[in-house]
Amino acid sequence: MNSSTEVPSFKLNSGTLMPAIGLGVANADNSPDSKITAAVLHAIEVGYSHFDTASIYGTECVLGDALFKAISMGVTSRQDLFITSKLWSDSHDPENVVSALQQTLTNLKLDYLDLYLIHSPMKLKKGTRQPAKAEDVLPSDIKGTWSAMETCFERGLAKSIGVSNFTVKELAQLLAHARVPPAVNQVEMHPLWQQKKLRKFCNGVGIHVTAWSPLGAPGTYYGTDALTNPVIKSISSKHNKSPAQVALRWSFQLGVTVIPKSFTFSRISENFNIFDWNLSPEDMINLCNIKQRPLSIREGLDIAQGLSFKTVDDCEDVDP
| CA-closest candidate to residue 89, choices 129, 35, 135 | 129
Partners of 211 in the β-ladder = 187, 258
Please name the helix (run of DSSP H) or strand (run of DSSP E) that holds residue 272, with its range, or none.
helix 265-272
Find the length of the chain.
Answer: 320
Amino acid at 160: S
Its pTM stands at: 0.94
Give the Cα separation of 182 and 175 in Å (integer).
Answer: 8
Q: Of 48, 57, 221, 222, which residue is the catalytic one?
A: 57
Write out the E strands in the chain.
9-11, 17-19, 23-24, 50-52, 82-87, 115-118, 123-124, 137-138, 161-164, 184-188, 208-212, 257-258
Per-residue confidence (pLDDT) for residue 320, from 0 to 100: 45
DSSP H or E segment with residue 286: helix 281-288
The span from the CA of 270 to the CA of 292, in Å, is: 26
Check if the beta carbon of residue 49 is closer than 8 Å to that of residue 19: yes
First to last CA, the chain: 46
Which ranges of 17-167 does DSSP label H, i.e. alpha helix?
Answer: 33-46, 60-72, 94-108, 142-154
Task: Quote the CA–CA distance of 54 and 60 in Å, as a whole number.
Answer: 7
Ranges of the chain whose pLDDT falls below 70: 1-4, 297-320
Answer yes or no: are the C-beta atoms of 84 and 75 closer than 8 Å: no
Cβ atoms 59, 288 nearer than 8 A: no
Phi/psi of residue 224, nearest 5 degrees: -120, 175
Q: Give the count of beta carbons closer than 10 Å to the beta carbon of residue 148.
A: 22
Are the C-beta atoms of 260 and 220 separated by less than 8 Å? no
- At residue 317, the pLDDT reads 57
Contacts of residue 7, defined as CB under 8 A and 6 or more positions apart, other chains included, come to 19, 20, 21, 47, 48, 49, 50, 275
* pLDDT tens digits for range 171-194: 999 999 999 999 999 999 999 999
C-alpha 210: how far from its chain's center?
A: 5
- Burial (CB count <10 Å: 0-12, 13-18, 19+), residue 313: exposed
Question: What integer pLDDT is reported at residue 301 of this predicted model?
Answer: 63
Residue 44's closest CA among 12, 72, 17, 10? 72
| Cβ atoms within 10 Å of 74's Cβ, excluding its own | 7
Which has the closest alpha carbon to 263: 2, 103, 33, 36?
Answer: 36
Active site residue 222: no
pLDDT of residue 132: 82
Q: What is the 8-class DSSP label of residue 274? A: -
